[in-house]
């Protein structure tokens, strides 16, 4: 990964708006063969759109993920050893999403409004009033976990590399599911211990990560569970969480063992659900553990109103030498397009602490369908790029 030696570079969290026809194909349940025919050209389109928007470190828009079940669902096509059983077959390992918030805002959760989308304001058609009814199957480990997605990840890599061919001054990345997000929620009935199971999950993930780095691309490890685990265990203390995250660091480092550090980016966020977020764990409680992960860059949610002040955490937690901080300076929590001057102000605040050369601008998370319309998502990316230009003039002269 490049340091910002002449100007502040920019990137994003991963998910980007899709062409209307690709969305229609996915919604209509197009066959795998039909999708394979359309995806390469769609990926070339989204690569070109990112470059036109002024983004420096770009990806495939996570179009393949969308076609195969979304953020985490795509990985189910690439692994074995797990199976789904009816809800209630085993005792649950954890509470539901954002249980701490649910206890403080029971009326809000009963209304169904919190299911109104992954971010932004509630919009017509996004929710049905009334308490949500969700009876999800339980995911259970029944055999040795293995990665079988080698052909699939090769196709992802090939499509992005073709789209990047001939493009200059840009880097390519592929976002891949983190080991906590892949395995921590599942119920282990096969391995002798939870520790042995999670280390096996790490080895599964490593195969996908290694394919990406071997191809000369950056792998972004998507691991919101590094922060959101706090919400699943409402009775935990800070000490309980830190003990768990210390083990999680070992798991993640096992997953990236042997990979070139300068091709690994770690993304953590607090979940993008439309909810109060007043019980989010503060960055100050785990930033020192975060930087023990053997990645070169750390992508951290930093623009939303619950976390925008947390740049001060880096005054106490030193960013290790050679590392890059990639804070979100635009976000999915509002449909409002951030002013470039605000983006620049945020970047200057971070640069004054961690050093301008150790900084890249990003989004809080993927913004593809977390704002009201594709036009808004692209406008936000353009605002980020303009903010980078303004900040660069102030920082580099």
Regions of the chain where pLDDT drops below 70: 112-135
pLDDT at 110: 78
pLDDT at 67: 80
Domains of the chain: which residue ranges? 9-396
pLDDT at 50: 97
pLDDT at 131: 54
CA distance 358 to 15: 24
pLDDT in tens, 22-68: 989 988 988 888 988 999 999 999 999 999 999 999 999 999 888 88
- Are 359 and 328 in contact by the 8 Å Cβ rule? The answer is no
pLDDT at 130: 56
pLDDT in tens, 294-329: 999 999 999 999 999 999 999 999 999 999 999 999
Entry pTM:
0.94
- Are 71 and 56 in contact by the 8 Å Cβ rule? The answer is no
pLDDT at 344: 98
pLDDT at 376: 94
9-396: CATH architecture: Alpha-Beta Barrel (3.20)
pLDDT at 114: 62
pLDDT at 168: 92
């Amino acid at each position: 990964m490049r340091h910002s030696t002449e100007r502040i570079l920019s990137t994003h969290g991963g998910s980007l708006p899709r062409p209307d026809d690709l969305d229609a194909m996915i919604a209509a349940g197009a066959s795998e063969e039909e999708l394979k025919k359309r995806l390469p050209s769609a990926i070339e389109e989204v690569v070109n759109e990112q470059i036109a928007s002024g983004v420096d470190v770009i990806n495939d828009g996570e179009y393949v993920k969308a076609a195969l079940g979304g953020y985490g669902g795509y990985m189910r096509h690439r692994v074995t050893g797990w199976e789904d059983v009816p809800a209630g077959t085993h005792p649950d390992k954890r509470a539901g999403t954002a249980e701490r918030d649910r206890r403080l805002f029971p009326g809000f959760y009963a209304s169904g409004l919190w299911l109104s989308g992954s971010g932004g304001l509630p919009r017509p058609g996004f929710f049905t009033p009334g308490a949500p009814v969700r009876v999800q199957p339980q995911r259970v480990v029944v055999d040795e976990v293995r990665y079988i997605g080698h052909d699939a990840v090769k196709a992802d890599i090939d499509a992005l590399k073709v789209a990047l061919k001939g493009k200059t001054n840009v880097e390519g990345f592929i976002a891949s599911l983190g080991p906590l997000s892949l395995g921590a929620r599942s119920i282990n009935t096969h391995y002798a211990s939870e520790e042995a199971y999670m280390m096996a999950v790490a080895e599964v993930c490593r195969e996908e990560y290694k394919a990406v780095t071997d191809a000369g691309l950056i792998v972004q490890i998507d691991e919101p569970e590094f922060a959101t685990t706090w919400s699943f265990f409402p009775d935990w203390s800070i000490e309980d969480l830190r003990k768990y995250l210390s083990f999680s660091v070992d798991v993640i480092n096992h997953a990236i063992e042997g990979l070139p550090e300068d091709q690994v980016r770690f993304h953590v966020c607090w979940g993008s659900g439309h909810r109060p977020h007043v019980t989010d764990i503060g960055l100050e409680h785990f930033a020192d553990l975060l930087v023990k992960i053997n990645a070169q860059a750390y992508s951290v949610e930093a623009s939303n109103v619950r976390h925008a002040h947390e740049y001060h955490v880096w005054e106490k937690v030193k960013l290790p030498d050679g590392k890059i901080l990639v804070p979100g300076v635009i976000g999915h929590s509002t449909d409002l397009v951030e002013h470039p001057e605000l983006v620049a102000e945020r970047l200057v605040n971070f640069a004054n602490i961690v050093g301008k050369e150790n900084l890249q601008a990003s989004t809080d998370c993927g913004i593809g369908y977390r704002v009201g319309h594709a036009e808004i998502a692209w406008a936000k990316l353009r605002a980020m790029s303009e903010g980078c230009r303004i900040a660069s003039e102030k920082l580099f002269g």
